[in-house]
A and B are shown apart, each in its own frame.
Chain A
Amino acid sequence: MSAARRLLALASLPLFLIALGCGRGGRGQVNVYIWTNYLPDEVVADFERRTGLDAQIDTYASNEALLEKLQSGVADYDVVVPSDYMLKILGPQGLLHPLDAARLPHRSSLDPRFLNQRFDPGNRWSLPYLWGTTGIGYDRRKAGEVTSWGALFDPRHAGRILMLDDEREAFGAALRLDGRSINERDPRALERAAARLKAQKRLVRAYNSSDFANLLATGDVDLAQGYDGELAKVVAKDRGRLAYVVPREGGTLWIDNLAIPKNARHLAAAHAFIDYVLEPQVAARIVAGVRYASANRDALPLIPADVRADPAIYPPPAVLDRCELIEDLGATTTLVDRLWMEVKAQ
């Protein structure tokens, strides 16, 4: 009967497919593990054309997912893109391969402002790729022009305010308003910030870290603390009504960085890929495609004018000077955790 033969054929399929999977990759290869929407398809295609290498792109959703993969020791990635704070974990844990500066001639195109950061002094493990800020997205007609974090604490906007559901970002806004650093460790300054946040709570419509841009776009809130990339997208759709600002007190800065995992098998290809995306023309195409700011200084004149002039992507330098990276607070973390819990539980 044909049932048996059909079943046999079906059962032999996996062996065939697995054999097929193993036979891949005759020419050189580079395996890139990167955030979603961080590398336009056409840039990948151009890299493959130019170098003759196969670029295999996989995506992840969080720094923690990346950490887990690298810790397993059997992930086969050659290039990864950890954020600032994650580099401070990956480097000391011995999960990264030092970069070979001689193989990265285009690193000279990078803006020195983003080099030699505290999370990787001397750029031993990484080079900056894209960066962004935390600020306020707002409805011009309802909230007027916003320039300060104070707007999020203004009773006039009661019930129309969204805060990120993130203790460091919430405290960051309150601390900045007091003229303090986002990484403040003084317990009294933190208590004051917590008091501000508690008083603010009755004005807040929602604490939300994932859907803030949508809620602003649909008019559920008039002011939303949020990350620039997502806010930039809704603002670009409705410029007459919506705007994004990094408040004049300064906000949070984040930097995502190119790095090579310790057990990478294609070191030459990994360096070739990193140097390729550091080329000013390529970096400019990436910015135009993904709408995040690049750490590449030489790429600036090549970026489309509307993107370069968009303060939601490239905030004015004076404001950027007042932005800070979030750093590990060490022992103070417990205090901030407790204060944030008090705010949320109130």
Chain B
Amino acid sequence: MSGRARRRPRSGAARLLLAAHSALLYLFLYAPIAVLAVFSFNASRQTAAWEGATLDWYRRLSADGLLGRALGNSLLVAAIATAAATALGTAAALGMARGGGRARRLTWGLLLLPVVLPEVVLGAALLSFFGAIGLRLSLSTVAIAHVVFSVSYAAVVVAARLAGLDPALEEAAADLGAGPWEAFRRVTLPLALPGILAAALLVFTLSIDDYVITSFVAGVGSTTLPLHVYSMLKVGVTPEVNAVSTLLLAGTVTLIAAAQVLLRPGSAKGSP
């Protein structure tokens, strides 16, 4: 696409300005993250003064039982939320792509509500709902809450992908003798897969860093990483928090890089 667009040649000064502007923008975006990572190796327990390099905070991290458990909880909840919300969101998006009429617009609107609802409202609503039905707060309630708020995001992402698909492909499969299930399995699903994986990544990210809703519905044994990091503030932030964040960052970047690699052939095949 962009190959066909005509490019106006830029003057040297303009190019320099653009480069400077981009450099500043990226600095603005990434400098705090770089500082965070660098200070996770700081020998001082202060988060503002550099006193030499150490791996102490990472060692301390591996010895901190509560923090380890919180990380485990976060990963477990994120895995559950990713699987469940992506499955439900994909099903919803597929249904929406097929159905029509007023009912469709209404259900679609209802599905998207959690995206626009303030998190505090959703958190308080879930808490009073669990209270009303007498469901004790635990890791399960956290997982349920995460599925609730992330299903809409998953549906939107998958729906965007489906919107770009040619319905004729499925019809062609049917013409060639594929049943509905086979057509779905061998045509629609592979084509939608990049969208589904993107939805899964988004849900995972949303789940792993959610604080507000989680703080409402967390119960026994369900302190997640964000909850634990926040509760550490009472005794002051130590580079231990930087170390967790750095590890989390490294994990996320790896995950996204892996997804990019996985998606490349798929999206090339699927793009119209």
Contact = CB atoms under 8 A, between A and B. Distances in A.
A18 B233 contact: no
Given A18-B140, A59-B228, A61-B234, 9 more contacts: A1-B186, A7-B189, A10-B83, A14-B83, A14-B143, A35-B234, A37-B234, A65-B215, A217-B46
Contacts of A68: 216
Given A21-B139, A35-B231, A217-B49, A73 B131 contact: yes
A75 interface: yes
Contacts of B223: 58-59
Contacts of A233: 45, 235-236
B131 to A, nearest CB: 5
B54 interface: no
A18 B80 contact: yes
A333 interface: no
Contact of A218 (B48, B137, B220): B48
28 contacts: A1-B186, A1-B190, A3-B193, A10-B86, A14-B83, A18-B140, A18-B143, A21-B138, A21-B139, A35-B231, A37-B232, A56-B220, A57-B66, A58-B222, A61-B233, A65-B215, A68-B216, A72-B127, A72-B130, A72-B131, A74-B136, A76-B136, A76-B137, A77-B220, A214-B48, A217-B46, A217-B49, A230-B236
B188 to A, nearest CB: 10
Nearest to B222: A58
A60 B76 CA distance: 20
B253 interface: no
A69 interface: yes
A72 B130 CA distance: 9
B143 A13 contact: no
Nearest to B266: A3
A24 B73 CA distance: 14
Given A10-B87, A60-B231, A214-B236, A41 B66 contact: yes
Contact of B80 (A7, A17, A59, A217): A17
B184 to A, nearest CB: 8
A36 interface: yes
A62 to B, nearest CB: 8
Contact of A14 (B80, B218, B233): B80
Contact of A13 (B83, B140, B233, B236): B83
Nearest to A236: B45
B204 to A, nearest CB: 12
Contacts of A61: 230-231, 233-234
A76 B220 contact: yes
B213 interface: no
Interface residues of B, number: 52
Interface string A222-250: 00000001100110010000000000000
Interface string B56-71: 0000000011100000
A20 to B, nearest CB: 9
B196 interface: yes
A133 interface: no
Interface in A3-44: 3-4, 7, 10-11, 13-14, 17-18, 21-22, 24, 31, 33, 35-37, 41, 44
Contacts of B65: 41, 44
A167 B23 CA distance: 44
Nearest to B63: A41
A229 B234 CA distance: 10
A317 to B, nearest CB: 26
A213 interface: yes
B140 A213 contact: no
Contacts of A21: 138-140
B219 interface: yes
B79 A17 contact: yes
Contacts of B220: 31, 33, 56, 58, 75-77
The CB with the most chain A CB atoms within 10 A, among B48, B184, B221, B232, is that of: B221
B234 A7 contact: no
A210 interface: yes
Given A59-B228, A76-B220, A77-B220, A7 B196 contact: yes
A94 to B, nearest CB: 16
A218 B49 contact: yes
Given A35-B234, A61-B231, A217-B49, A11 B84 contact: yes
A74 B141 CA distance: 11
Interface string B196-238: 1000000000000000000110111111000110111111100
For the complex of A and B, 6 pairs with smallest distance between CB atoms: A61-B231, A11-B87, A31-B220, A14-B80, A59-B231, A36-B231
A213 B236 contact: yes
Contact of A4 (B47, B86, B185, B215): B185
A65 B193 CA distance: 41
Contacts of A35: 231, 234
The CB with the most chain A CB atoms within 10 A, among B76, B219, B233, is that of: B219
B78 to A, nearest CB: 11
A3 B136 CA distance: 37
B135 interface: yes
